[in-house]
Amino acid sequence: MFHITQRLLLRPAWPEDADALFGGIADQGVVRNLARAPWPYLPEHAREFVKREQDPRVPNFLMTLPGDDGSRIIGSIGFGETDTGIELGYWIARPYWGKGYATEAGRGLIEIARLLGYERLEAGHFLDNPASGKVLRKLGFRPTGKVAKRHSCARGQDVDCALYSLELAADDLVPPMAA
C-alpha cells in the first residue's frame, strides 16, 4: 500500500532501505520516545524491520519525499494492534523535526484508517515528549485523561504515557493543514 500527501510519499519498507532506515532512527533522541525500538539501535534491527511481513489491516510506512530516489528516510508511521484497538505510532528523524512532517503523515494515515473501516484510533506519547502530544492534538486526537505505564525498550523501564483517542465518524474531518 502507498499513500501520497502534499509533500510525502508513504510507502512500505523494502530490504534495500535498511541502511537509510538505520541512518534515520539510530539516534537515542528518537528511539527513547518509542516503545518497541531497542537502544542501542543496531544495523541488524533495521534489517529485521525492513524484512517484516506486512499485515494489510495494520500497515506501516516509511516517509520519503516524492521524486526523491527514496534513499532519504524522513521517518516511519503506521498502525499497531493493542488490547483495546488500533494505535497510530510514528517517529521522525532528527533533521526533519519541526517541519510538520509528522502531522502531514498522520493526516495521511487517518485517511487510510477510514478507508480500512476503522471507527476509532488510539495513540499515546511519553510525558517527557510533549511535542508528540502537540502533533496528536493537531490531528484531532483527544486526551483520554489517562496516563499509563508503557515499557520503553530503549530506556529499559516503564515510562508514563499520556493516552489519546480519535473517533473517526464520517462527519468528523481531520483539521485542515495550517497555511
Give 85: exposed, middle or buried? Use CB within 10 Å, 0-12, 13-18, 19+. Answer: middle
Q: How far is CA 27 from CA 30, 33, 54, 102, 159, in A?
A: 5, 11, 25, 17, 19
Q: How far is CA 11 from CA 39, 67, 89, in A?
A: 25, 13, 15
Closest-CA residue to 137 (of 152, 149, 124, 127): 124
DSSP secondary structure, 98-122, as one string: TSSHHHHHHHHHHHHHHHTT-SEEE
The span from the first CA to the last CA of the chain, in angstroms, equals 28
pTM of the full predicted structure?
0.90
Tell me if residue 125 falls in helix, strand or coil.
strand
In this predicted structure, what is the pLDDT of residue 70? Answer: 59
In this predicted structure, what is the pLDDT of residue 179? Answer: 41
List the domain boundaries for the chain: 3-167
> What are the tens digits of pLDDT across the range 28-52?
999 999 999 999 999 999 999 999 9
In this predicted structure, what is the pLDDT of residue 176? Answer: 52
For the cut 60, the answer to whether the pLDDT of residue 168 exceeds it is yes
In this predicted structure, what is the pLDDT of residue 173? Answer: 52
The architecture that CATH gives domain 3-167 is 3-Layer(aba) Sandwich (3.40)
For the cut 90, the answer to whether the pLDDT of residue 170 exceeds it is no
Give the residue-averaged pLDDT of 139-159. Answer: 96
